[in-house]
Amino acid sequence: MRAIVDSGPIIALSKVGLLDLLPVLFETIIVPEDVRNEVARAGETRPGFEIASLTCVQVMTVDSGARNGIEQTYDLDMGEAACLVLAGREEDAVLIIDDAKALAAAKQLGLPWIRTGKVLITAFEVSLLTMQEAERAIEHLYAEHYLGATARRDVLAMLRRAGRQQR
């Protein structure tokens, strides 16, 4: 399966040092040019910038008319709108996105999606992370205010359910 990734999950996974999970979990990582430009500006080193150097990343340009239509219809940023456009046209791809408005739009459009928390849980399920490593990553994202209290609780509960199922 391929993944179309928005800037939020790229930044979040970078902050916890786990951006390298994406090429292990997905055969191709698709990043809209708008997202790449947002997280990997030339000369800047901030969380997520390393996405530009991953060889498995396919940067795709999105038609500005289609992107602008999604952007205006759902009141989204360019990167999120570009992700939705790509998710609508790419087969066998899942959208990795965390923004609430973009998630609502993806649901309305019937697009397959997951959040960063599910990436961490999946990494645990396939033994790329231990339970403790996944919990630490979730707690770090909470401490960074990337996850709210409810999201933290829900993701930890899903992780623990996955742990019980593995026994």
Residue pLDDT, tens place only, 92-114: 999 999 999 999 999 999 999 99
| Structural contact between residues 26 and 2, judged by C-beta atoms closer than 8 angstroms | yes
pLDDT at position 117 over 70: yes
The verdict on 124 and 56 lying in the same domain is: no
The verdict on 95 and 144 lying in the same domain is: no
Q: What mean pLDDT comes out for the span 147-162?
A: 95
What tens digit of pLDDT does each residue of 7-50 get? 999 999 999 999 999 999 999 999 999 999 989 876 777 888 88
Task: Give the total number of structural domains in the chain.
Answer: 2
The verdict on 63 and 125 lying in the same domain is: no
The verdict on 44 and 7 lying in the same domain is: yes
pLDDT at 51: 84
Relative orientation angle of helices 64-74 and 78-89, to the nearest 10 degrees: 110
The verdict on 156 and 82 lying in the same domain is: no
**pTM higher than the cut 0.85:** yes
pLDDT at position 166 over 80: no
The verdict on 110 and 154 lying in the same domain is: no
Q: What mean pLDDT comes out for the span 135-145?
A: 96
Determine the structural domain holding residue 128 and report its residue range.
117-166
pLDDT at 24: 95
The verdict on 106 and 157 lying in the same domain is: no
Tell me the three state secondary structure of residue 6: coil
pLDDT at 167: 67
The verdict on 36 and 81 lying in the same domain is: yes
Distances (CA, A) of 110 to 88, 95, 103, 104, 105: 9, 11, 10, 10, 8
